[in-house]
Structure 1
Amino acid sequence: MTSPTITRRGFLAATCATLCAPPLLKAETRWPLTVTDAIGRMVTITKKPKSIILGTGFNLFALSLIHPDPVSLLAGWATDMKTDNPFIYDAFRKKFPALDKVPLVSNGQADGMSFEAALSLEADLAVMGRWQAEGEQGKRAIDYLASIGVPVIVVDFNLDPLKSTPRDIRLLGRVLECDQQAESYAQFFERRVERIRVRAVGKGGDGPLVLMDAFPSATRGSWAVGRTGLGELITLAGGRNIADKNLPPQGGTVTAEYIIAAEPDVYIATGSPGGTYTVFSIGPGVDPAEALQSLQETVKAPSLAPLKAVREGNVHGMWNFFNAVPLNVLAAEAVASWVRPDLFGDVDPASSLAEINERFAAVPFEGAYWTSLTS
């Protein structure tokens, strides 16, 4: 995919800066501002945030969709995005060299925040993921930050993505006074999800059986994604998830015997760049040929090769960290086109990604984010 030119990027940054200013026909945000976050907490923020701690580095993606210089907002952040997806970190660093100097306060895990580091930053807001905040360590971090005068808002692009992604983009837009850009992205997301939902509901009947296999490995059992998170995308498209009934909402490990007995019609693997966790390499900076070749290698595993989906070529793969960022709408479109090609043959996530890069992204998202053996 061709990246926007520097001239276009400059124009878009200026446009985004305008959108992050209070519109002329709208009253300016009144501070202090009280908002409701992703876990129902009422949070009061005393002034417009200019110094933000990110509990997970992946939330830089969200900021970059609504603010032209998201790095300028950071007081501290976590290492997880840099560790798991170094190419996109480098892309942000090249556009915003100041990222190299942003202090690290967490490894991105629920128990990974350094309270001492947070204390030294003089931040005026922290943003945490729901998956971090709902654990005991996350609650301790929220309480500690509150005790030193740093309000915390929790966002969710992971557990309940179809409902919470547009809601929490709007929340961030309100807090950062980037309402127009946030509203535009939320509507962009909602239109695409609703198109899938309406068609799937209209078709009715039983859709194909689907296995979504997180970080597949030939040396251990498969982790079948459950009905929450990325599993919501299977249901949205009218598919039937083989993990729906017998596993926890988030999914769980399943044996080769379980998978073969379930006989999925569609197989979807998830992975990360460079095969960080398994042989399957996909995501930011990955060449499409590498993604395809590594998916081919993945389904040669003895537990996967006998599957109907593999024999018939209904094999697909996508970036696992769609489960952490508002780009998950691209995953929704890809999954829909794989699960029900009869309904969604005209749905094109590549076109949607190009529009995101042109209209929203402070840093363009490049690489192979999904692939298919039929591609």
Structure 2
Amino acid sequence: MAQSATILDMGFSDKGNVDLESVIARQPDLMIAQLRARPALMESGVIDKLSALHVPVLFVDYEIAPAKDTAPSIDLLGKVLNRESQAKAFTDYYRQQLQTIRQKTAAITPKANVFVEALAGNSDACCFTHGHSGWGGLVEAVGANNIGSQLLPGASGFVSLEKIISMKPDAWIMTGSKRGNSQVLPLGYAVKPEAVKAQAQTLLARPGVSQIPAVQEKRAYGVYHHFYNHPWNIVGMEYLAKDIYPQAFGDLNPDETYHYIVRHFTDLPDQPFVFSWQQSE
């Protein structure tokens, strides 16, 4: 953990801004970046400059096509970092858990219609969501229809509450994480369930939200936001599967999956957390 304090902050943004001089001064053997940043890095000339210095750039993806790209990305990292056995142990587990979900959802008809309000409460406007990537990709991976994918031309954006109500979602899922903005679901570490429940009720009390069919049927849920762009997105998919198809996944325990990953594949402390919320509880 102490070693992490020495890791260089590259000052990177999605617009391709990188403190390239500081990066080059460290004489890196390899640069690892998210695939979504590739166009910006190409346009800003970062890729060409690193190529001229014989510094390869490796792209990984946990967001654009999360269910398809996450395990191969980890396998690739394992190969280039000489940690192939550790990477394989994780991706074998990842693929096994994902296959279990897909086997069950393949037989489910009709498919549920789901709306994910990403970082619910983070904006005065409702409702921000993801298209086919991010949370949308995770919803689709567990065999459901993501309403945002049907309505957004890009990766993310806002959908009017009236439009959502007219599409009658079967499940309404709000993502959040503990942060300075007290309006967002405070999910994460060192969180009290009572605080999450109180904020969830506040979010459901926003004008118009109570008219959403899923909310009226007590099918509103909360999930930790940062699973949308993380190698541990399998945990996020398990929460989604359990929320969207509760009868099919009554025995699924995403909390235990998270504990298992931390204990078996990392040296991180296994600390208490609250990563989900259910309206029916």
Q: TM-score, normalised by structure 2?
A: 0.91
Counterparts of 1:365 and 1:250 in 2: how far apart (Å)? Answer: 33
Q: Which residue of 1 aligns with 2:157?
A: 252
Counterparts of 1:123 and 1:277 in 2: how far apart (Å)? Answer: 40
Report the more deviating stretch, 325-334 or 303-312: 303-312
Q: Secondary structure at the match of 2:151?
A: coil
* 1:139 to partner: Cα distance: 6.0
* 1:287 to partner: Cα distance: 3.3
Counterparts of 2:53 and 2:38 in 1: how far apart (Å)? Answer: 17
Letter in 1 for 2:26: L
2:211 pairs with 1:314:
no
Counterparts of 1:210 and 1:153 in 2: how far apart (Å)? Answer: 34
- State the structure with bigger RCO (CA 8 A, min sep 6), 1 or 2: 1
| 8 A contact 1:316–1:372 mirrored in 2 | yes
* 1:336 to partner: Cα distance: 0.3
| 8 A contact 2:134–2:229 mirrored in 1 | no
| 8 A contact 2:242–2:249 mirrored in 1 | yes
1:301 to 167, 181, 206: 206
Counterparts of 1:293 and 1:232 in 2: how far apart (Å)? Answer: 29
Q: After superposition, give the CA deviation of every residue in 1:16-68 in whole Å (9 maximum; x if it has no partner).
A: xxxxxxxxxxxxxxxxxxxxxxxxxxxxxxxxxxxxxxxxxxxxxxxxxxxxx
Counterparts of 2:25 and 2:280 in 1: how far apart (Å)? Answer: 52
Q: Which residue of 2 aligns with 1:5?
A: none
Q: After superposition, give the CA deviation of every residue in 1:251-273 in whole Å (9 maximum; x if it has no partner).
A: 42111211221221211111222
1:362 to 244, 267, 276: 267
Q: Which residue of 2 aligns with 1:148?
A: 53
| 8 A contact 1:157–1:324 mirrored in 2 | yes
| 8 A contact 1:275–1:281 mirrored in 2 | no
| 8 A contact 1:275–1:282 mirrored in 2 | no
* 1:326 to partner: Cα distance: 0.5
Going from structure 1 to structure 2, the CA distance change for 1:352 and 1:308 (only over 3 Å counts) comes to same
Q: Which residue of 1 aligns with 2:110?
A: 206
1:28-47 map, 5 Å: none
Going from structure 1 to structure 2, the CA distance change for 1:365 and 1:117 (only over 3 Å counts) comes to farther
2:3 to 98, 107, 112: 98
Counterparts of 2:270 and 2:157 in 1: how far apart (Å)? Answer: 30
1:371 to 261, 277, 281: 277
Q: Secondary structure at the match of 2:111?
A: coil
* 1:288 to partner: Cα distance: 3.1
Letter in 1 for 2:46: A
> In angstroms, what is the RMSD of aligned CA positions?
2.1
Q: After superposition, give the CA deviation of every residue in 1:228-262 in whole Å (9 maximum; x if it has no partner).
A: 22212222333222223222252421112112212
2:245 to 336, 340, 343: 340
1:184 to 81, 89, 106: 89
Q: Which residue of 1 aligns with 2:120?
A: 216
| 8 A contact 1:207–1:340 mirrored in 2 | no
Q: TM-score, normalised by structure 1?
A: 0.69
Letter in 2 for 1:172: L
* 1:310 to partner: Cα distance: 1.4
Counterparts of 1:319 and 1:137 in 2: how far apart (Å)? Answer: 32
Q: Which residue of 2 aligns with 1:127?
A: 32
Going from structure 1 to structure 2, the CA distance change for 1:144 and 1:289 (only over 3 Å counts) comes to farther
Counterparts of 1:278 and 1:158 in 2: how far apart (Å)? Answer: 25
Going from structure 1 to structure 2, the CA distance change for 1:201 and 1:179 (only over 3 Å counts) comes to same
The count of corresponding residues between Structure 1 and Structure 2 is 279
Counterparts of 1:113 and 1:285 in 2: how far apart (Å)? Answer: 33
Letter in 1 for 2:203: T
Structure 2 unmatched ranges of 5 or more: none
Letter in 2 for 1:257: E
| 8 A contact 2:16–2:44 mirrored in 1 | no
Identical-residue share of aligned pairs (%): 25
